Amino acid sequence: MLATRVVTAVAALAVLLAMVFLAPPALWSLFMLAVALVGLWEWSRLCGLGRGARATFLALSGAAGAASWLLYVLGPRAPFEALALAAFGIATVFWVAVAPLWLARHLRPASPLAAAAGWIVIWPTWVAFVVLRERGPWILLAAAALVWVADIAAYFAGRRFGRRKLAPQVSPGKTWEGLAAALAAVAAYGIALAAIARFQARPFTDVFDAWGGVPAVAAMVALAALSVVGDLFESWMKRGAGVKDSSSLLPGHGGVLDRVDALTSTLPVAALALAVRAMRP
Protein backbone atom coordinates (compact mmCIF):
# COMPACT_ATOMS: atom_id res chain seq x y z
CA MET A 1 0.00 0.00 0.00
CA LEU A 2 2.81 2.42 0.88
CA ALA A 3 4.57 1.70 -2.41
CA THR A 4 1.35 2.39 -4.30
CA ARG A 5 0.89 5.70 -2.48
CA VAL A 6 4.47 6.75 -3.21
CA VAL A 7 4.31 5.84 -6.91
CA THR A 8 0.99 7.66 -7.34
CA ALA A 9 2.25 10.72 -5.46
CA VAL A 10 5.48 10.94 -7.47
CA ALA A 11 3.67 10.52 -10.79
CA ALA A 12 0.99 13.09 -9.90
CA LEU A 13 3.60 15.58 -8.67
CA ALA A 14 5.66 15.18 -11.84
CA VAL A 15 2.64 15.83 -14.05
CA LEU A 16 1.54 18.77 -11.94
CA LEU A 17 4.94 20.46 -11.92
CA ALA A 18 5.37 19.95 -15.66
CA MET A 19 1.99 21.54 -16.30
CA VAL A 20 2.55 24.42 -13.86
CA PHE A 21 5.90 25.43 -15.33
CA LEU A 22 5.66 24.40 -18.99
CA ALA A 23 2.03 24.43 -20.16
CA PRO A 24 0.67 27.51 -21.93
CA PRO A 25 -2.27 29.19 -20.15
CA ALA A 26 -4.95 27.62 -22.38
CA LEU A 27 -3.60 24.11 -21.77
CA TRP A 28 -3.11 24.66 -18.04
CA SER A 29 -6.65 25.96 -17.63
CA LEU A 30 -8.02 23.04 -19.66
CA PHE A 31 -6.02 20.55 -17.61
CA MET A 32 -7.36 21.99 -14.36
CA LEU A 33 -10.87 22.10 -15.85
CA ALA A 34 -10.65 18.35 -16.40
CA VAL A 35 -9.57 17.94 -12.76
CA ALA A 36 -12.48 20.13 -11.64
CA LEU A 37 -14.99 18.10 -13.63
CA VAL A 38 -13.68 14.89 -12.09
CA GLY A 39 -14.08 16.53 -8.69
CA LEU A 40 -17.67 17.44 -9.53
CA TRP A 41 -18.34 13.86 -10.58
CA GLU A 42 -17.03 12.71 -7.20
CA TRP A 43 -19.09 15.37 -5.46
CA SER A 44 -22.25 14.14 -7.18
CA ARG A 45 -21.63 10.76 -5.56
CA LEU A 46 -21.33 12.33 -2.10
CA CYS A 47 -24.40 14.55 -2.04
CA GLY A 48 -27.04 11.86 -2.55
CA LEU A 49 -28.44 12.85 -5.91
CA GLY A 50 -30.58 10.33 -7.79
CA ARG A 51 -29.48 8.99 -11.16
CA GLY A 52 -31.41 11.56 -13.19
CA ALA A 53 -30.41 14.45 -10.95
CA ARG A 54 -26.75 13.40 -11.11
CA ALA A 55 -26.88 13.33 -14.90
CA THR A 56 -28.40 16.81 -14.96
CA PHE A 57 -25.86 18.10 -12.43
CA LEU A 58 -22.93 16.75 -14.44
CA ALA A 59 -24.33 18.00 -17.76
CA LEU A 60 -24.77 21.50 -16.33
CA SER A 61 -21.30 21.32 -14.82
CA GLY A 62 -19.76 20.37 -18.15
CA ALA A 63 -21.61 23.14 -19.98
CA ALA A 64 -20.63 25.74 -17.37
CA GLY A 65 -17.03 24.57 -17.44
CA ALA A 66 -16.80 24.69 -21.22
CA ALA A 67 -18.35 28.16 -21.33
CA SER A 68 -16.00 29.47 -18.64
CA TRP A 69 -12.95 28.01 -20.37
CA LEU A 70 -13.94 29.48 -23.74
CA LEU A 71 -14.51 32.85 -22.08
CA TYR A 72 -11.02 32.67 -20.58
CA VAL A 73 -9.30 31.57 -23.78
CA LEU A 74 -11.25 33.46 -26.46
CA GLY A 75 -13.24 36.19 -24.78
CA PRO A 76 -12.29 39.71 -23.69
CA ARG A 77 -10.39 39.88 -20.42
CA ALA A 78 -12.80 42.02 -18.40
CA PRO A 79 -15.72 39.54 -18.22
CA PHE A 80 -13.49 36.72 -16.99
CA GLU A 81 -11.92 38.97 -14.37
CA ALA A 82 -15.39 39.98 -13.17
CA LEU A 83 -16.42 36.31 -13.09
CA ALA A 84 -13.28 35.45 -11.12
CA LEU A 85 -13.89 38.15 -8.51
CA ALA A 86 -17.51 37.06 -8.10
CA ALA A 87 -16.47 33.41 -7.72
CA PHE A 88 -13.81 34.28 -5.15
CA GLY A 89 -16.22 36.46 -3.20
CA ILE A 90 -18.92 33.79 -3.07
CA ALA A 91 -16.37 31.16 -2.05
CA THR A 92 -14.99 33.38 0.71
CA VAL A 93 -18.44 33.96 2.21
CA PHE A 94 -19.15 30.24 2.01
CA TRP A 95 -15.92 29.16 3.71
CA VAL A 96 -15.88 31.88 6.35
CA ALA A 97 -19.57 31.84 7.31
CA VAL A 98 -21.64 29.02 5.82
CA ALA A 99 -19.45 25.92 5.98
CA PRO A 100 -18.33 26.48 9.62
CA LEU A 101 -21.99 26.93 10.62
CA TRP A 102 -23.00 23.70 8.91
CA LEU A 103 -20.13 21.86 10.57
CA ALA A 104 -20.76 23.33 14.01
CA ARG A 105 -24.44 22.38 13.92
CA HIS A 106 -23.86 19.11 12.05
CA LEU A 107 -26.39 20.16 9.44
CA ARG A 108 -26.66 17.90 6.41
CA PRO A 109 -28.13 19.97 3.54
CA ALA A 110 -30.71 18.44 1.23
CA SER A 111 -29.29 16.96 -1.97
CA PRO A 112 -30.02 19.98 -4.25
CA LEU A 113 -28.41 22.35 -1.74
CA ALA A 114 -25.44 20.02 -1.33
CA ALA A 115 -25.04 19.91 -5.11
CA ALA A 116 -25.06 23.72 -5.27
CA ALA A 117 -22.43 23.75 -2.53
CA GLY A 118 -20.30 21.55 -4.78
CA TRP A 119 -20.25 24.26 -7.41
CA ILE A 120 -19.23 26.82 -4.77
CA VAL A 121 -16.50 24.48 -3.57
CA ILE A 122 -15.02 23.47 -6.92
CA TRP A 123 -15.57 26.20 -9.55
CA PRO A 124 -13.85 29.00 -7.59
CA THR A 125 -10.98 26.60 -6.96
CA TRP A 126 -10.56 26.05 -10.69
CA VAL A 127 -10.59 29.80 -11.32
CA ALA A 128 -8.06 30.29 -8.51
CA PHE A 129 -5.71 27.74 -10.05
CA VAL A 130 -5.91 29.68 -13.31
CA VAL A 131 -5.55 33.17 -11.84
CA LEU A 132 -2.81 32.36 -9.33
CA ARG A 133 -0.78 30.61 -11.99
CA GLU A 134 -1.06 33.76 -14.12
CA ARG A 135 0.54 35.70 -11.27
CA GLY A 136 3.40 33.23 -11.45
CA PRO A 137 3.97 29.50 -11.01
CA TRP A 138 5.84 30.12 -7.78
CA ILE A 139 2.94 32.10 -6.33
CA LEU A 140 0.57 29.20 -7.04
CA LEU A 141 2.97 26.66 -5.56
CA ALA A 142 3.63 28.84 -2.52
CA ALA A 143 -0.11 29.07 -1.85
CA ALA A 144 -0.55 25.32 -2.27
CA ALA A 145 2.54 24.63 -0.15
CA LEU A 146 0.92 26.56 2.69
CA VAL A 147 -1.72 23.82 2.85
CA TRP A 148 0.85 21.05 2.55
CA VAL A 149 2.96 22.52 5.38
CA ALA A 150 -0.13 22.76 7.58
CA ASP A 151 -1.20 19.19 6.77
CA ILE A 152 2.22 17.69 7.50
CA ALA A 153 2.67 19.58 10.76
CA ALA A 154 -0.84 18.70 11.93
CA TYR A 155 -0.37 15.04 11.08
CA PHE A 156 2.90 14.51 12.93
CA ALA A 157 2.08 16.73 15.90
CA GLY A 158 -1.35 15.15 16.20
CA ARG A 159 0.14 11.66 16.25
CA ARG A 160 2.75 12.60 18.84
CA PHE A 161 0.94 15.08 21.08
CA GLY A 162 -2.73 14.93 20.10
CA ARG A 163 -5.11 14.53 23.03
CA ARG A 164 -8.12 16.80 22.48
CA LYS A 165 -10.31 16.04 19.47
CA LEU A 166 -10.99 18.94 17.15
CA ALA A 167 -14.16 17.61 15.49
CA PRO A 168 -14.78 14.03 16.67
CA GLN A 169 -18.10 13.66 14.88
CA VAL A 170 -16.62 14.75 11.55
CA SER A 171 -12.97 13.66 11.52
CA PRO A 172 -11.90 11.80 14.69
CA GLY A 173 -8.21 11.92 13.80
CA LYS A 174 -7.86 15.70 13.99
CA THR A 175 -6.79 17.31 17.25
CA TRP A 176 -6.42 20.81 18.66
CA GLU A 177 -2.73 20.10 19.23
CA GLY A 178 -2.35 19.25 15.53
CA LEU A 179 -4.11 22.48 14.58
CA ALA A 180 -1.81 24.51 16.82
CA ALA A 181 1.22 22.87 15.24
CA ALA A 182 -0.16 23.55 11.75
CA LEU A 183 -0.63 27.26 12.48
CA ALA A 184 2.83 27.53 14.00
CA ALA A 185 4.42 25.76 11.04
CA VAL A 186 2.66 28.04 8.56
CA ALA A 187 3.77 31.09 10.54
CA ALA A 188 7.37 29.85 10.25
CA TYR A 189 6.81 29.19 6.54
CA GLY A 190 5.46 32.71 6.07
CA ILE A 191 8.46 34.21 7.87
CA ALA A 192 10.75 32.19 5.60
CA LEU A 193 9.01 33.50 2.49
CA ALA A 194 9.20 37.05 3.83
CA ALA A 195 12.93 36.59 4.35
CA ILE A 196 13.31 35.29 0.80
CA ALA A 197 11.37 38.30 -0.47
CA ARG A 198 13.86 40.64 1.22
CA PHE A 199 16.47 39.40 -1.24
CA GLN A 200 14.33 40.71 -4.12
CA ALA A 201 13.17 37.24 -5.10
CA ARG A 202 10.21 37.82 -7.36
CA PRO A 203 7.28 37.18 -7.39
CA PHE A 204 7.42 36.98 -3.57
CA THR A 205 8.77 40.51 -3.38
CA ASP A 206 5.60 41.86 -4.98
CA VAL A 207 3.36 40.06 -2.48
CA PHE A 208 5.26 40.95 0.67
CA ASP A 209 6.00 44.52 -0.41
CA ALA A 210 2.29 45.01 -1.08
CA TRP A 211 1.09 43.60 2.23
CA GLY A 212 4.01 44.14 4.57
CA GLY A 213 5.71 41.27 6.36
CA VAL A 214 3.59 40.87 9.51
CA PRO A 215 0.16 41.28 7.85
CA ALA A 216 1.15 38.85 5.10
CA VAL A 217 2.27 36.20 7.59
CA ALA A 218 -0.91 36.73 9.64
CA ALA A 219 -2.99 36.28 6.47
CA MET A 220 -1.15 33.02 5.74
CA VAL A 221 -1.93 31.72 9.24
CA ALA A 222 -5.59 32.64 8.73
CA LEU A 223 -5.58 30.74 5.43
CA ALA A 224 -4.09 27.73 7.21
CA ALA A 225 -6.98 27.80 9.68
CA LEU A 226 -9.41 28.04 6.78
CA SER A 227 -7.76 25.04 5.11
CA VAL A 228 -8.91 22.94 8.06
CA VAL A 229 -12.50 23.95 7.32
CA GLY A 230 -12.16 22.67 3.75
CA ASP A 231 -10.69 19.41 4.97
CA LEU A 232 -13.42 18.94 7.56
CA PHE A 233 -16.17 19.85 5.12
CA GLU A 234 -15.19 17.15 2.65
CA SER A 235 -14.80 14.65 5.50
CA TRP A 236 -18.30 15.58 6.63
CA MET A 237 -19.67 15.02 3.13
CA LYS A 238 -17.98 11.61 2.93
CA ARG A 239 -19.28 10.63 6.36
CA GLY A 240 -22.80 11.57 5.31
CA ALA A 241 -22.42 9.47 2.16
CA GLY A 242 -21.00 6.54 4.14
CA VAL A 243 -17.74 6.33 2.17
CA LYS A 244 -14.08 6.52 3.16
CA ASP A 245 -12.81 8.16 -0.05
CA SER A 246 -14.42 10.39 -2.65
CA SER A 247 -13.47 7.78 -5.29
CA SER A 248 -10.69 5.33 -6.09
CA LEU A 249 -9.21 7.13 -9.10
CA LEU A 250 -5.83 7.75 -7.44
CA PRO A 251 -4.41 4.43 -6.23
CA GLY A 252 -3.49 4.67 -2.58
CA HIS A 253 -4.85 8.22 -2.29
CA GLY A 254 -8.57 7.96 -2.94
CA GLY A 255 -10.07 10.55 -5.25
CA VAL A 256 -9.36 14.04 -6.51
CA LEU A 257 -11.40 15.67 -3.74
CA ASP A 258 -9.38 13.78 -1.15
CA ARG A 259 -6.25 15.51 -2.46
CA VAL A 260 -7.59 19.04 -2.94
CA ASP A 261 -10.08 19.35 -0.07
CA ALA A 262 -8.03 21.88 1.90
CA LEU A 263 -7.08 23.77 -1.27
CA THR A 264 -10.73 24.42 -2.08
CA SER A 265 -11.12 26.65 0.98
CA THR A 266 -7.71 28.28 0.66
CA LEU A 267 -6.85 29.14 -2.95
CA PRO A 268 -10.00 31.16 -3.79
CA VAL A 269 -9.63 33.27 -0.65
CA ALA A 270 -5.92 33.82 -1.33
CA ALA A 271 -6.71 34.78 -4.93
CA LEU A 272 -9.36 37.25 -3.75
CA ALA A 273 -6.98 38.87 -1.28
CA LEU A 274 -4.31 39.31 -3.96
CA ALA A 275 -6.82 40.62 -6.48
CA VAL A 276 -8.25 43.17 -4.05
CA ARG A 277 -4.77 44.29 -3.03
CA ALA A 278 -3.81 44.74 -6.70
CA MET A 279 -6.74 47.12 -7.17
CA ARG A 280 -5.56 49.44 -4.43
CA PRO A 281 -3.28 52.35 -5.36
At 2-55, the pLDDT tens digits run: 567 777 878 888 999 999 999 999 999 999 999 999 999 999 988 878 888 899
The pTM of this model reads 0.92
Is residue 140 a contact partner of residue 266, using CB atoms and an 8 Å limit?
no
| CA-wise closest residue to 165 among 152, 176, 151, 153 | 176
Inter-axis angle of helices 213-241 and 204-211, to 10 degrees? 110
The residue among 281 and 85 whose pLDDT is bigger is 85
Residue 70 has pLDDT above 60, yes or no: yes
Helix (H/G/I), strand (E/B), else coil: 201:
coil
- Cβ neighbours of residue 276 under 8 Å, at least 6 residues apart? none
Alpha-carbon span 123 to 127, nearest angstrom = 6
Is residue 221 a contact partner of residue 183, using CB atoms and an 8 Å limit?
yes
CA 117, chain centre distance (Å): 14
Check residue 127 and give its pLDDT: 97
Check residue 182 and give its pLDDT: 95
Secondary structure of the chain: what % helix, strand, coil (to 5)?
A: 80, 5, 15
Across all residues in the chain, what is the average pLDDT? 88
Alpha-carbon span 259 to 264, nearest angstrom = 10
At 86-145, the pLDDT tens digits run: 999 999 999 999 999 988 887 776 778 888 999 999 999 999 999 999 988 988 998 999
Residue 233 has pLDDT above 90, yes or no: yes
